[in-house]
């Protein structure tokens, strides 16, 4: 598969067209805005966390296919995860999109592995990680808005 076909494979196009868990979550106990000033990607992330476990997560906003698909996949994967698990997945995901294919990392990440192709396009890593940095700041209750710059 060429780099480009891998980057824009069906799962990614599908999640960018029909993002899962999209919309405001009124009972969120964490929420955060993320912004990529370079390309204008913007998202708001809403998290319901109970007893250290992510119960629900939703997002809204607009952006490129990579940033929307990454946010959509993240909200699916994070449901039911503890803070420690969130941290571990974050680190694996970051490793994947910056360094590319790695069998161990991909087996741990499951369907998130579709984003491995991003590593070939360094300029797009920020798109893929915007939602993730926003999540990290949201559960840390960091008062600053997240910006990739």
Q: Which residues bind other proteins (CB under 8 A)?
A: 2-4, 7-8, 13, 17, 37-42, 62-66, 121, 123-124, 127
Listed in sequence order, the DSSP H helices in the chain are 3-7, 10-17, 65-78, 83-99, 103-109, 125-139
**Nearer residue to other proteins within complex by CB, 4 or 140:** 4
Please name every residue paired with 46 in a beta bridge, in sequence order, or none if there are none. Answer: 31, 58
CA diameter of the chain: 44
The least distance separating other proteins from the CB of residue 65, rounded to whole angstroms, comes to 5
**Nearer residue to other proteins within complex by CB, 53 or 65:** 65
The least distance separating other proteins from the CB of residue 112, rounded to whole angstroms, comes to 19
**Nearer residue to other proteins within complex by CB, 17 or 111:** 17
Residue 34 burial class via C-beta count within 10 angstroms: exposed 0-12, middle 13-18, buried 19 and up: buried
Nearest Cα neighbor of 15 from 96, 112, 124 is 112
**Nearer residue to other proteins within complex by CB, 5 or 83:** 5
The least distance separating other proteins from the CB of residue 40, rounded to whole angstroms, comes to 4
The least distance separating other proteins from the CB of residue 10, rounded to whole angstroms, comes to 10
């Amino acid at each position: 598969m060429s780099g480009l076909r891998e980057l824009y494979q069906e799962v990614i196009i599908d999640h960018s067209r029909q993002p899962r868990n999209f919309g405001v979550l009124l009972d969120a106990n964490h929420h955060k805005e993320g912004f990529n000033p370079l390309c204008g990607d913007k998202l708001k992330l809403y998290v319901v966390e109970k007893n250290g476990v992510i119960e629900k997560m939703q997002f809204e906003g607009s952006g490129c296919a990579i940033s929307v698909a990454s946010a959509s996949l993240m909200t699916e994967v994070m449901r039911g995860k503890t803070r420690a698990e969130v941290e571990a997945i974050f680190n694996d995901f970051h490793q994947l999109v910056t360094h590319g294919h790695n069998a161990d990392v991909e087996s741990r990440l499951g369907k998130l592995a579709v984003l491995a192709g991003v590593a070939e396009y360094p300029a797009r890593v920020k798109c893929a990680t915007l939602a993730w940095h926003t999540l990290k700041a949201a559960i840390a209750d960091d008062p600053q808005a997240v910006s990739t710059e």
